[in-house]
Amino acid sequence: MSIQGKIVLVTGASSGIGEATVRELAARGATVVLGARRTDRLEKLVAELRAQGATAEFQALDVTKRDSVADIVRFARERFGRLDVIVNNAGVMPLSPLEALKVNEWEQMIDVNIKGVLYGIAAVLPVFAQQGHGHVINTSSIAAYRSIPTGAVYCATKAAVNFITEGLRQENAYVRTTIISPGVTESELAHTITHEATAKFIDDYRKIIIPADAIARAVAFAIDQPDGVDVNEIVVRPTAAN
């Protein structure tokens, strides 16, 4: 089955990579279900997609709440009869040195970046098992492959995403899994940084950046493969990046 006609749920769909992914998949004929906290943005985006002839729905979603994630998966399945793909894309990146002791931000990264992905997996696995097929795509980061100053917790959360995804792949022969690891990409992630010196450093670091639709095309590539082909990991970064 190609992208055409697939039912795809995207979390963190109100901006950045999530929004770009929704636009790309809808343009290729997928039916998209959008989830995020900022429903005003989702409503506007869905109206735009429908005006272009796409089939799109949205629902408020907080990935830190297991019931919220389960609800949107149930909504997608009840509305369209099945769910083919979940893109666990919601994420936060409030970088800071450990000595800044921003413990609340550490907990937020764990809740969104790790537990949010796990809640997504928990919600779709029974559906995929009953269907006999499904695809879990998790947005990771190049930060998953090595720790950097100010990024200890963020890098750890993304490394966890990689290991969780690989474990899921090994455990389930009927589930396709894909890790998408973006380099510096156009998004609102940097807006969550509250540590002033880190924010300034990241502003300089983000002078070399790729558009969000570059990541969206990678997601589409993974989905578009034949059923027996599983693209497990894609790293996408600026050409000029170190």
Active site (catalytic) residues? 154
User: Which CA distances in Å does 142 have to 82, 212, 214?
Assistant: 32, 15, 15
Q: CB neighbours of 112 closer than 8 A, spacing ≥ 6?
A: 63, 64, 90, 91, 92
Q: What's the CA dihedral at 144, 149, 151, 157 to 10 degrees?
A: 50
> What number of CA atoms fall less than 13 Å from residue 163's CA on the CB side?
9
How many Å apart are CA 24 and CA 214, to the nearest integer? 10
- How many secondary structure helices (H) and strands (E) does the chain include? 8, 7
> Residue 212 in contact with residue 186, Cβ under 8 Å?
yes
- Length of the chain in terms of residues written: 242
Residue type, 38: R
How many Å apart are CA 112 and CA 129, to the nearest integer? 25
